[in-house]
Amino acid sequence: MYLELWWFLTVPVFFAIGWITSRWDRKKNRGRKQTRLNDLEKLVLFLTEDNHNVAIKLLQGIIKDYERSFYLQKALGILFRRRGLFDRSIDIHAALLSVRKIEPSLKDSTLIELAKDYVGAGLYDRAYQALELVEGEDYKIQVLQLRLRINQRLKQWKLALETLEDLENYKEIKLQNLRIHFFCELIENGNVDYKEKLLEINSNHKRVKHLMLNQKTFPSDGGVFICNFCAAKFDDFFWKCHLCETWDSCEQLSCEKH
């Protein structure tokens, strides 16, 4: 009877220990949640500041707690690409595509990211293949824009004209300035059949006038040419920036300015 009473008295003690432990765990979880939230807030700040190196390190730490997060993995891949670490971004985006039961729209958006990785790495065939696997209409414009970018990088001007037409039809807009440049590129490469079409479109365009006068280059006068979009500087005139690939962004700096 004495023993039974003793055990009876231990019940409130165990109850108290359990209560204290659960409080402690709750406090610990709250602290962990707060730390994660702080890390996510810092991540947003670093991304806003374009501080990609620190953002990558922080995101790699956060992902350890959210290993199954598709979006965080995808974001890490994008950050690696922005730092020029294409092999790592390709690995991450390719791995995400092997996730079972991936939603069709997530699959398409990841294929777009993978295609961008391949473009960055200069693997254009693979980029094209990735784009061919995109099925949904939601990403059609991005697919066409990336194809157009690849066509231009590879100087496939006839193919670029076809892609441009698809893009125009899909977006219901006219991109005549690009067409003019593509025609000019073709003519400069010996496809003189495009001269007539070019003049029909716009004979007053700066490049068209330049081409029709058979001028091969622009005089530099010893100045420097700057891209007014990305501020890259070059010694020679350009129609399309060699760095950011923007057309008609060339401005000549006077000798005093630079």
- Binding residues among 63-92 for Zn ion as defined by CB under 5 A: none
Give 16 or 244: the residue with its C-beta nearer to Zn ion: 244
Give 4 or 50: the residue with its C-beta nearer to Zn ion: 50
Q: Residue 103 is encoded by which pair of tokens?
A: 């939603």
> Is 239:225 a contact under the CB 8 Å cutoff?
no
Residue 120 DSSP label: H
Give 201 or 243: the residue with its C-beta nearer to Zn ion: 243
As measured in angstroms, the least distance from the Cβ of 228 to Zn ion is: 8
- Please work out the total of residues on this chain that contact Zn ion, with binding judged by CB under 5 A: 7
Give 123 or 232: the residue with its C-beta nearer to Zn ion: 232
For the residues of 158-211, what is the DSSP string, one character each? Answer: HHHHHHHHHHHHHHT---HHHHHHHHHHHHHTT-TTHHHHHHHH-TTSHHHHHH
> Is 135:105 a contact under the CB 8 Å cutoff?
no
> Is 74:93 a contact under the CB 8 Å cutoff?
yes
As measured in angstroms, the least distance from the Cβ of 72 to Zn ion is: 31
State the greatest distance between any 2 C-alpha atoms of the chain, in Å, as a whole number.
116
* Dihedral sign of CA atoms 230, 115, 58, 45 in order: positive
Give 198 or 241: the residue with its C-beta nearer to Zn ion: 241
Give 132 or 251: the residue with its C-beta nearer to Zn ion: 251
As measured in angstroms, the least distance from the Cβ of 148 to Zn ion is: 17
As measured in angstroms, the least distance from the Cβ of 253 to Zn ion is: 14
As measured in angstroms, the least distance from the Cβ of 59 to Zn ion is: 28
As measured in angstroms, the least distance from the Cβ of 191 to Zn ion is: 27
- Beta bridge partners, 251, equal 226
- Binding residues among 214-253 for Zn ion as defined by CB under 5 A: 227, 229-230, 232, 241, 243-244
As measured in angstroms, the least distance from the Cβ of 81 to Zn ion is: 19
* Dihedral sign of CA atoms 249, 250, 256, 258 in order: positive
Give 55 or 227: the residue with its C-beta nearer to Zn ion: 227
Amino acid at 84: G
Spatial neighbors of 83 by CB under 8 A, at least 6 apart, are 52, 53, 56
User: Which residues are at the interface with Zn ion (CB under 5 A)?
Assistant: 227, 229-230, 232, 241, 243-244
